[in-house]
Amino acid sequence: MPSVLRMMNQKHGNIGLTRRHCVGLGIASVAAAPAWAAQLAPEPPARVALGGFDAVSYFLGGQNSPETGLAAFEYSWSGRTWRFAHPANREAFRAEPAIYAPRLGGFDPLGVIEGRFVNTDPLIFLLVPGPDGSRLYLFRSTANRAAFAADADLPGQAEARWPDLRRSPDADPAE
């Protein structure tokens, strides 16, 4: 009985491929895989913005907690993966991401004023009225949020300091 894996007819000068050839090719390709795979630089996974919270939901819920985003509704922007609770939120963000993304690269405004990158907690936030609508600011602590909210000059100071800080050598290239 002829082999099921025989691909071509040897009678007409074509080369046949038998089960033995297939097994040999399979073993060779598995053995060679580490050699070529080691040459490829692994691509780092995109970092998830806002700890996975939905950026648009901050604006829909007022000062309440934001909604958790879902992996099913992701969008890549500015070196980050942004997750959304609903497809409509993803589309709103996609249309105008700068409106919904946190200001100052998501760093604490008091740290920015001091010329430092201070990480934040996405659940400690404040929506501040700005010339183009509300702006989302994130904070390291509730004390920092309270201090920022109490001084009307601090948002302007942080915004003025941000362009120079973001160009510094310590800046995150994704910001």
pLDDT > 60? residue 164? yes
Give the mean model confidence (pLDDT) for residues 62-91. 93
Q: What is the pLDDT of residues 130-141, one digit of tens each?
A: 888 899 999 999
State the pLDDT at residue 97: 97
State the pLDDT at residue 72: 97
Say if CB 55 and CB 48 are below 8 A apart.
no
DSSP tag of 104: G
Phi/psi of residue 44, nearest 5 degrees: -65, 145
pLDDT > 70? residue 10? no
State the pLDDT at residue 70: 97
Among 7-21, 36-50, 85-99, 155-169, where is mean pLDDT lowest? Answer: 7-21
Residues in the chain: 175
Question: Distance (Å, rounded) from C-alpha 59 to C-alpha 100?
Answer: 8
State the pLDDT at residue 135: 95
